[in-house]
Amino acid sequence: MTTASTTPRVAIVTGGADGFGAAICDRFSQEGWKVLILDLNQQKGEEKTRQDGNLRYMFGDVASRATWEQALQSVQAEFGRVDLVVNNAGITGNPTPTHLKDIAEYEKTFRVNVLPIFLSTQVIAPAMMEQGNGAFVNITSTGCTRPRPGFAFYNSSKAAVSVATKTMALEYAPKIRFNCVAPAVGQTSMLQASIGQGADSQERLRKIEESLPMRRVTQPSDIANAVWYLGTDQSSFVTGTTLEVDGGRGV
């Protein structure tokens, strides 16, 4: 059901050119929202905007305050408001034991996965408070509660996202809601890169699927539907929570 409003609702989605982010953009567009995609993948970002008139694309590093300031100026100039921020962009890094991790990879993981949560709130939350309402949905991971070896600092970066989100839910209530969605491994280009393209790739995928009680990986539409719920008035009394969309992995 499309949210009733005299003016269109507006979302900013990071990493919206591909994977979970692209499905989130499509879901909100189908409901009549206007969506600004923030992504470094200019080719895919611009391609999505050519296919859908509700989408806008902006090239930018979400770990830069200037990107967020430009994004806010863009949506306010065109639409006069911003109703939702979805912090979806993230990286996993290479699966290696901690003593073999490169310090640059450690720093990049926190810069990409955690810093945008801080920056987006600093820049966008004041605008939401001024208009009287808004919501943030931050994508975390089941790695917070069911960590996998080799990803100690990816897991801990996503735990930081979860705790920050809960804390900001308290700081900004009742005007702004903050929630998380926690996927299990998903059907994205990131998964394809991890299992490879060779003859053994399907066997690797089968083992991943068998590790999940629902016997399949997370689909982008699963995450898009969860974000739709948490990002709209359907969840108007929900804040500070993490919705696990993981096929039972966290049980």
Do the beta carbons of residue 85 and residue 12 sit within 8 Å?
yes
φ, ψ of residue 56 to 5 degrees: the values are -125, 155
- C-alpha span between 75 and 235 (Å, rounded): 24
Specify if 1 maps to a domain. Answer: no
Q: 102 exposed, middle or buried (CB, 10 Å; 0-12, 13-18, 19+)?
A: exposed
User: CA–CA separation, 249 vs 141, rounded Å?
Assistant: 11
140: left (phi over 0), alpha (psi -120 to 50) or beta: beta
Query: Domain check: are 155 and 206 in the same one?
Result: no
CA distance 22 to 14: 9
Indicate whether 14 belongs to any domain: yes
Active site residue 57: no
Q: What is the band of 3 on the pLDDT scale with cuts at 50, 70, 90?
A: very low
140: CATH = 3.40.50.720
Q: Is residue 4 part of a domain?
A: no
pLDDT in tens, 86-126: 999 999 877 889 999 999 999 999 999 999 999 999 999 99
Residues 54 and 157 in one domain: yes
User: What 8-state DSSP symbol labels residue 151?
Assistant: -
Residues 144 and 45 placed together within one structural domain of the fold = yes
pLDDT of the residue at 143: 86
Q: For residue 106, what are the domain limits?
A: 10-183+220-245
pLDDT digits (tens, 9 = 90+) for 187-214: 555 555 554 566 666 656 566 656 666 6
Same domain assignment for residues 192 and 71: no
Eight-state DSSP code of residue 186: B
Q: Please indicate, yes or no, whether residues 109 and 210 belong to a single structural domain of this protein.
A: no
User: Alpha-carbon dihedral of residues 55, 123, 107, 220, nearest 10 degrees?
Assistant: -30
Q: What integer best gives the mean pLDDT of the chain?
A: 89
Q: What's the CA angle centered on 70, arms 65 and 75, to 5 degrees? A: 130
pLDDT (tens digit, 9 = 90+) per residue, 137-194?
Answer: 999 998 888 887 888 999 999 999 999 999 999 999 999 999 999 997 755 555 555 5
Closest CA to 139 of 115, 162, 118, 163: 162
pTM: 0.90
Please state the domain count of the chain: 2
Task: Judge contact between 168 and 136, C-beta under 8 A.
Answer: yes
Q: Which of 57, 106, 154, 229 is catalytic?
A: 154
